[in-house]
Structure formats: structure tokens, C-alpha cells
Amino acid sequence: ACASAALKDVAAYFTKEYGQVAVFDATNTTRERRAVINSFAKERGYKVFFVESICDDPEIITENIKQVKFGSPDYIDRDIEEAMTDFVQRIECYKASYTSIDDEKDRKLSYIKIFDVGSRYLVNQVQDHIQSRIVYYLMNIHVTPRSIYLSRHGESELNLLGRIGGDSGLSPRGLKYADALAVFIRDQQIKDLKVWTSHMKRTIQTAEALGVQYEQWKALNEIDAGVCEELTYEEIQENFPEEFAMRDQEKYRYRYPKGESYEDLVHRLEPVIMELERQENVLVICHQAIMRCLIAYFLDKPADELPYLRCPLHTVLKLTPVAYGCKVESFFLNIEAVNTHREKPTNVTISRKSDEALQTVPKHN
Amino acid sequence: MAARHQRPSAASKSSAEAKRTDLKNNEKKCSWASYMTNSPLLIVMIGLPARGKTYMSKKLTRYLNWIGVPTKVFNLGEYRREAVQSYKSYDFFRHDNEEAMEIRKQCALVALQDVKTYLNTEGGQIAVFDATNTTRERRILILNFAQENTYKVFFVESICDDPDVIAENIMEVKVSSPDYPERDRESVMDDFLKRIECYKVTYQPLDKDQHDRNLSFIQVINVGRRFLVNRVQDYIQSKIVYYLMNIHVHCHSIYLCRHGESQHNLERRIGGDSGLSERGKKFAVELKGFVKEHNLSDLKVWTSQLRCTIQTAEELGVPYEQWKILNEIDAGVCEEMTYKTIEEKYPQEFALRDQDKYHYRYPGGESYQDLVQRLEPVIMELERQGNVLVICHQAVMRCLLAYFLDKGADDLPYMKCPLHTVLKLTPVAYGCKVEMFDLKVEAVNTHRDRPLNKVRSNSMLPPLIRRNSFDPLSSQDQIKRPRLYSMGSMHSHSHVFPPPAFSGTRFSRVSEGAELQQREDSLNGFSTPDTEEGST
């Protein structure tokens, strides 16, 4: 009954809410249940892709139970030992009726079987592009404990002047930050840390201070502001007041003339994300808009929030995947810097006055 | 190619160490920071004859070379043909034919020696050992060889029990094999099937549950209907898996053409985003006729996001998809200039580009090498699709063509892709059939030939400040090249960070990078193609 309620919601999501992909997260361990799902989908013309996770390693299972089940609403008031025993027995109940996807009988189905958290995969009958991307993604993620450190470059000369974009070097305070970052990283004692920067001077200069090998990614370059490159917000308001207003109206999709949008950024960052998933400990030294996109991915922030996420200078964000999400720790390295965060102003209409547009511009030289 | 001399830890490793620890350690050392000990990869094909091993080997090699990973196929059949001058019959392959078995084993050893030379001294990064490798014994021999040399190993096993597929394979490639110069089809088929039977007797497929569970491999079952992937170790193996999972053998054709002649073309300007000229519009109409004439079922049409390709596609009256990554190469500061103006305004840049057109990056723009990286998803999707018409641009079309026709970096930027001409590519056997259709609408010629005199300048260029691009660059370009001039550092040494082993970029150049400070015969003192000397 619960299953059919869920499937009804799936149908609603597709038809009324324009959803493209629904992930039906349940045990679905019997052939019978899977047949129900298949006919449900067939009736409505949906494609089905099964993702079966098979794991016999008791250590992994115990770890999983600890990490996610104990926080579950089902076990909120139980003692840990008791909860563990109860859950293990729960698993036994399912085992009795568990039929794995049969590679012979089910050979017409599209599915991926994941064995032992990714040590092996069996992929059958991938039908289309999105399924192949799903397979690629699943094959690249892992659960090895690690942390991702995100930071912007140190304060730059153009930051001080309140100008966006460009390719300037670090200000004196920015250089101080680079040194502080080096100390911070050393103190964190991170195993096998990889360091990534963009192709722009300011991130490279920051990484130089670390004294370790780093890799430069063009895909990590700051958002291209096109005709607005190196202008201050005041100058943008003076020269392109309509554009400025339109950007405030829909910051995620707005594309600078001859430049990019946040949406474009997300697209160009996809290989970075994929590689971050494959890697273990990484420090990414990047830029404000880029960092916002990366954080949005890890913290599951929607498009309307993404362009307004706070990524101040001289602050390192440490993301550690846990359970179903990401633990976030913020480290301000105590070096003063300008604020480059511009909130959405109250008036975003094209007819607004100059001071209304510039209401939220942070101070600069 | 520079020799990769040292693999410091390799020498000290005893082969007694467990293979897995060895691999794991190598993997750690293969971290991008330790490029000096980045292990080469040995891909080992497994499968009965006529299972598509050579097809996959060649295709995979072509793909890996295109994305910049030096790769070479070592086909055991060729070694055998050299050793045994004339092939008589399937009897040679009987498993009880001791003399033949010895010859075949010797061939394998010779081939492996060549592999070693390629990977150790010729700058190869990946070697594909294309043979049946159907017995455990043979595979152990190969694994030991790899371990001695600290190569990683990845097996690709092709399993097929569909008799139709097998018969078709035999007809497509075996009938014309050097082994059967004058035989008629029937007897070829007959002999070959018997040959397969010889192998079947001793065939031991990879055993994922017991014997081979710690090996890294992919089993391709029935031409891609199913895959079993075990223990992918690193990035390049994951790319290989992804590629193998996306290719297919269905009949299809890919049509490549440029947009119709544009206004900028007429004015001899490069780049920009102008619309079609009158003749360009005519071409679009002709293209529509062409598409109709060829009666392509389910044809997909792709364009870039620039006006000229879109206008061309509009005329066809069918749905089309716009890809930003199909946009023309970004000429940075040279956008919308004529070659004459570029030569006047940026004579040094102009000269540098002619010296190494593939690696040269326009200031604030892109290089052909950048293009290849950004076009990779297009190639992947072309592999997945059926019939596709790609309406793109000159540099882009050259890159795509180079992939299909296996052209290297030297030839790619000079491939002829004239306006108003459609290229039809049809995969056949181990390669690609090309047909050219000139739609007979006049257009300017935008092709610049390779200059005859390459003037090498040894003077160091003053550090040029890199600028942002004026036009949006595509999403997918990831250039992992060492920056020549990072600010804030006095030593040029510390900037030659060899490109890490990501996205298959030049592993071999990786070692070149660090050794290069001493080279003289190069642009700006660096000859590694991966530094940005051409564009800074």
C-alpha cells in the first residue's frame, strides 16, 4: 500500500511537476515488487533503470548502520547496542525473501548491480544517454572517508577596488592569506592532499605559497563577466543599468553579454565535480562564483539560492561527506579582507533608480 | 620523445611483493603530484577469435591518442604472421600442436618486449596487447611481466555467444585477412570456425568470483548488451570503461559540415558571430535537399550556439540541438580580425601559431588542443548515437575529423574542411569510410596551408599577461597545463608542473616537462607542447 502511494506520487511528479527522473528508494527485493514497478512504468511509458546494491562485507554493513540508521526516526530513543541488534534482525527478515536481479531471467531489464560499494559493477542493457551518465556517475563515487577544502584566492588588487573579474595579482593582505593558508593546511595534516587552482594569477599565487604541487584547471576560472569585466558595480549601473537589473531578477540564468551565466558555470564544472567525486582529499583554490557552484552541489542548494551563497575571502570551507550529506566547517584565517558579497537589492525592476540598484554593493576603495 | 628514465621506487620493489600492494602503492604514487612515477598501463584483450578484440583495440587506441594519451596496439596475429611466413590451416592453432604452441609463445614474448620498449623508452603511456590471451597461463605470464616493469594492467574480455554476430565479424574482417589471401568465402568461414574451436578447448574466461577477483577488468558481453566491471583503479581506467560502454557496432553514418558561408568569412575575418551571407543561405537550402535525398532515418541534427550554424540548421526544417561546445575555436584577442590584421598587430603571435598550430593558444583564447578536450563529450555522444548531422565550424570540424580518421596533432590543424561541403563518415571494419559531397555552392576558401618556412625563434618572449576570453568558453575545457609565468615566483623552474594524469593528458609529456629546462631547440626554451609558451 505504501509502495503504491509512492508510485502515485512518482506519476504526479512526472506529469504535473515536469520531473524527468524519479528515484524510487526502497528495498524492492522481491521479483513480485519489481514486476509491479515495471508494469506501472510500462503503462505510463516510463523507462526503468534498476540500481541494485549487493554487499556481503560485514564491516561495511555495520558502518552503514551506525552512520545512518541510528539517526533514523525509527531508532531515535533506542540504546545503540539494542538498535544494532534490532536492525541486524530487520535485515534477516528481508534476506528470507530477497531475490537478486537474475542475470538470466531479467536480461531484458536495464540495470546496474553494484558489488561491495563499487569494487565491481554489472551493467545490463543501458538504453540511453541519461542512463549511461547515471552509470558513469555511480561508477565514480566512493565512500572512503575524506575531506574537500574549498577556498577562494587571497584578496586581489581588483577586489580592493571593487572591480569584478579580470586577472589581477594578490594584494598585500592576499599574500598574507596565502601564507596563513599554508600554515592552516600543514596543521590539518591531511593525507595525500591534492591542490587545484584555476588558470588565473590570483589562485596560482595563493597556491604557490603552499609549496606543494598543484594542478591548474581552466574549468575553475571565474565566471566570465563579458562586457562587464573589470568594472565596478557602480560602473555597470552607469553603463548597463538594464543588464544590471535583469541580473538581479534572475541571477542564476542571467548571462553577461559576451560572458557567462551561473548556469553555464555549472555545466563547465561538471568534470570538476566528477573528478572531486573520484578523488579523496582535495583543496580547491578558486573564485566566488565557482565556489558557490561547488558548494551548491555538495550541500544540495537550489538554483535560486546558489548565486547568493556566502563565500567570503580568506575563509576555508571544509566539507566532509557524512551519512546522507556533508558536514561543513568554516575556518576564517584571521586576515582582513574586503567583502565582495552583493545581496539581492529590494528593487530589481528595470526602472529602478541608481541608488536602489547600488543599495547592496559592498564597500571598496 | 623524452625517455622516462626513472621510476625510483620500481627498481627497489621486489617482485615478491603482493601484486595488490604494488598496484596500490603505484596508485598512490600515481597521484598527480608524483608524475615522475606515473605507471604506464597495459591493456590486455581477452577473447576467442572474432569477438571484436581488434576492433575495440583499434578504436580505443584511436580515442586515447585523440585525447592526448600516447597509446599503441600490439597485435599478436601480426607477430605470428611474421614468424610463420605462410598460414596453411587451422591446424596451426590446435592446442596439441606443440611446435606451433612454442612459436606462438615466442611471438608473445617478442611482442611484450616491444611493449616494454614502447612504454619505457618511446614515451608510450598505454599499450594494448591485442591477442586471445584465453588461458590463465598466458595471463599470468603477462601479469608477471607487468609487475616486473611496474605497469598497471587492465583486462578487456569480449564474450559473445551470438552466432550471427560472430559470422558477421568473420565476414567483415577475417575474409580479407592476410591469412586468407586467395581462399573463397565458404572455406574461409569453415577454416576460421574450426580455428575458434581450437581455442575453445583451452579457454578460461576471467573468473570474477575466485581466481581473478582482484584483477582490474571489464567483460563486454554480447557486443555491449552487458558489462561486468571489476576494480577500476584510476581515472584513465574509468575513462576507458566509459568509452567501451558507449561504443556500439550498429550501422550508422555521421555527416560533418560547416555552417554556410558567413559575413565574416566574406570579409576574411576569423571568429565572431556573424550571420550567413547570400551564398551561405543558398548552401543551407542545398543542404536541406541533400538531407532529403539521403533519406536518413531518425537523423539527429546538431549545431553550435553561434548564429551561422543555427541559421544553416533552421533551413532544414527539422528539430536540431544546439551545443555550446561545438562553438568555433576562441581566438581571444584576435577575434574578428583578418589574418592580415593579426600579422600586423601581433606578429610574434602570428609566427608562433605557424610554428605549432596544434598547441598554440590565442591570448585570451583557445588552442586546438583545448578544442579537442572540449569536444570530447561530443565524440562520446556521436559514438552512442545513430545517424547524426553535425553543422559546425572549421577548427571544430578538423578536430572531429581527426578523431574519426585517426589524424595526429601535426596534421589536424591543416586538414581541409572547405565550406559548402558535407563529409559522410561510415564506420567499416577497423576504420572509417569517407565520402565527400560538394554541394556546388560557391564560397570563399578559408583554408590556410602549412607555411613552408618555419622560422624558429629562440628569443624568450616577454611575459604576456593572460586575459579572460571575450566570448564565453565552453564548459568542458580543462587545461591541465603548467603555467609558464605564474606571478609571484622568480624561478621559471618551479612553473613547469608537468600535467597530471587527468583526462588522459599526455602522461609522457609529464616527464618531459620536468626535464625540459635544458632543451634548446624550442619555443621560448620549452618544447613541451603543454606549456603555454605559444600563447603567453
- Mapped onto helix, strand or coil, the DSSP state of residue A236 is helix
Nearest alpha carbon to residue B258 among B441, B494, B464: B441
Q: If we measure between CA atoms, which residue out of A28, A30, A14, A35 comes closest to residue A108?
A: A35
Residue B427 amino acid letter: P
Residue A118 has pLDDT above 60, yes or no: yes
Tell me if B120 sits within 8 A of B222, measured CB to CB. Answer: no
Contact (CB<8Å) B468/A165: yes
ipTM of the complex: 0.76
User: DSSP class of residue B259?
Assistant: P
Q: Which of these, B480, B485, B486, lies nearest to B498 by C-alpha position?
A: B480
Residues from chain A that touch B363, judged by Cβ atoms under 8 A, are none
Give me B17's grid cell.
Answer: 611483493
From A123, A224, A270, residue closest to B468, measured CB to CB? A224
Q: Is B130 a catalytic residue?
A: yes
- Whether the CB-CB separation of A83 and A75 falls below 8 Å is answered with yes
Task: Please tell me the distance in Å from B437's CA to the nearest CA on chain A.
Answer: 30
Instruction: Check if B160 is active-site.
Output: yes
CA dist A42 and A153 (Å) reads: 52
- How are beta strands A215-216 and A148-152 bridged, if at all? unpaired
Q: What is the pLDDT along chain B (536 residues), one digit of tens a residue?
A: 333 333 333 333 343 333 333 333 333 322 222 222 358 999 999 999 989 899 999 999 999 988 888 899 999 988 988 888 777 788 888 888 888 888 889 999 999 999 999 999 998 899 999 999 999 999 999 999 999 999 999 999 999 988 888 888 888 877 777 777 777 778 888 888 888 998 999 999 999 989 999 999 999 999 888 999 999 988 889 889 999 999 988 888 999 999 999 999 999 999 999 999 999 999 999 999 999 998 877 899 999 999 999 999 999 999 999 888 899 999 988 999 999 999 999 998 899 999 989 988 887 788 898 888 889 889 999 999 989 999 999 999 999 999 999 998 889 999 999 999 999 999 887 888 999 999 999 999 999 988 876 544 444 333 332 322 222 222 222 232 222 222 222 232 333 333 333 333 332 332 333 332 232 232 232 223 333 333 33
B399 as an active site residue: the answer is no
Q: pLDDT for A323-354, tens place per residue?
A: 788 999 999 999 999 999 999 999 999 999 99
Residue A205 with chain B: CB contacts under 8 Å: 486-488
**Which of B242, B470, B499 is the closest to A258 by Cβ?**
B470
Q: How far is A2 from chain B (nearest CA, A)?
A: 33
Residues of B in contact with A167 (CB under 8 A): 465-468
Residue in B225, B472, B478 nearest the CB of A260: B472
Our CA dihedral for A91, A97, A103, A106, rounded to 10 degrees, sits at: -120
At residue A71 the predicted structure's pLDDT band, cuts being 50, 70 and 90, is low
- Alpha helical stretches, state H, chain A: 2-15, 31-44, 58-64, 80-97, 129-140, 157-160, 172-188, 201-208, 233-239, 241-249, 262-268, 270-278, 288-298, 354-357
C-alpha cell at B476: 568542458
**Chain A residues with CB-CB distance to B473 below 8 A:** 218, 224, 268
Q: Which residue of A has its CA nearest to B239?
A: A136
Q: What is the nearest CA distance from B283 to chain A, expressed in angstroms?
A: 28
- A72 pLDDT band (50/70/90 cuts)? confident
Query: Which residues of A does the annotation mark as catalytic?
Result: 25, 55, 153, 222
Read off the C-alpha cell for B351: 609566427
Min Cα separation B338/chain A (Å): 20
Task: Compute the distance between CA of residue B448 and CA of residue B342 in angstroms, rounded to an integer.
Answer: 14
Q: How far apart are the first and last CA of chain B?
A: 24
User: Hey, are the CB atoms on B486 and A132 less than 8 Å from each other?
Assistant: no
User: Nearest 5 degrees, angle CA B260-CA B265-CA B271?
Assistant: 100
Instruction: Note whether B245 contacts A271, CB cutoff 8 Å.
Output: no
Element (H, E) at B245: helix B235-246
Question: How do residues A123-177 score in pLDDT, each as one tens digit?
Answer: 999 988 889 999 999 999 988 889 999 999 999 999 999 999 999 999 999 999 9
Residue of B nearest to A230 (CA): B468
Q: Does the distance separating the beta carbons of A132 and B245 come in below 8 Å?
A: yes
Of A136, A219, A226, the CB nearest to B242: A136
A96: cell is 528470507
- Contacts of A56-61 with C-beta under 8 Å, sequence gap 24+, read A56/A116, A57/A116, A57/A117, A60/A116, A60/A117, A61/A91
Distance set, CA A19 to CA A142, A234, A297, A305, B494 (Å):
27, 40, 19, 20, 50
pTM comes to 0.76
Cβ distance of B466 and A167 shorter than 8 Å: yes
Pair B225, B234: CB distance under 8 Å: no
Cβ count within 10 A of residue A36:
15
3-class DSSP state of B229: strand
For strands B152-159 and B41-46, give the pairing: parallel
Q: What is the pLDDT at residue B469?
A: 25
Is B302:B332 a contact under the CB 8 Å cutoff? no
User: How many angstroms away from the CA of A118 is the closest CA of chain B?
Assistant: 8
